[in-house]
Amino acid sequence: MFSEAVAGASSRRGFLARTGRAILAVAGGGFVLEAMRAQKAEAFHFCGHIYTTGSCPHPTGLPRVDANGFPLRAVDGHAVDDLGRPIDKLGRPVDARGHVLIDPDGNPLPPAPRSRVCQKTGHEFGFHGQIDGAWYRCCGGHVRKLIDCCGYTRTRINGDAALTGYCYSGRHVFCVMYYDTKITC
């Protein structure tokens, strides 16, 4: 797709990737190229992520968030609380059909805490987590915003040295998240 091609061509690692592929094409031919294409798809743990920094801790696993940084269930984009339960707009837990769960007295079951993924991560790991910058890729036919969770930290969630990435003012990337937009690509 054009947008994906543009995104790939304009990325910071695009030049190196193209150069590497060209060298490999010369040296190893089509077989190596095919292997490289496959690796491109499978090298990192979610689409659009182009480095090894791990996911931010998320109630359901894959670090999908909404536009405000709150957790969404990756499989269907449903809002979830910190317990991983699907919830309505008021934070009340709902069943699989979207009905608000109610107790035997007829009251909705209580809301559980729902935290912004990056801020909660910072709280858990002892720094102030914030979002500085982001980059975009085409994933599954929609533009995906890939977000660094930044903080004044020397290590990243993997346990090794943190990098600057899309963080500013001396902050480093601690972990990564993503937001799936509705914009097709």
- Positions in the binding site for another protein (CB under 8 A): 41-47, 49, 52-63, 73-75, 80-86, 90-95, 99-105, 107-115, 120, 123, 157-158, 175-176
CA-to-CA dists, residue 17 to 12, 27, 73, angstroms: 10, 15, 32
How far apart are alpha carbons 38 and 40 in whole angstroms? 5
State which residue, 89 or 170, has the beta carbon closest to another protein: 89
For residue 26, the minimal CB distance to another protein (Å) is: 27
State which residue, 26 or 103, has the beta carbon closest to another protein: 103
For residue 118, the minimal CB distance to another protein (Å) is: 13
For residue 124, the minimal CB distance to another protein (Å) is: 9
For residue 15, the minimal CB distance to another protein (Å) is: 24
CA-to-CA dists, residue 163 to 111, 157, 158, 166, angstroms: 37, 11, 12, 9
- Cβ proximity of 35 and 20 under 8 Å: no
State which residue, 30 or 113, has the beta carbon closest to another protein: 113
State which residue, 53 or 130, has the beta carbon closest to another protein: 53
At which residue do the structure tokens 């720094």 appear?
127
Give the single-character DSSP code of 142: E
CA-to-CA dists, residue 12 to 69, 154, 165, angstroms: 25, 22, 11
For residue 147, the minimal CB distance to another protein (Å) is: 14
At which residue do the structure tokens 């060298």 appear?
23
State which residue, 22 or 102, has the beta carbon closest to another protein: 102
Identify the sign of the CA torsion 14, 15, 18, 21.
negative
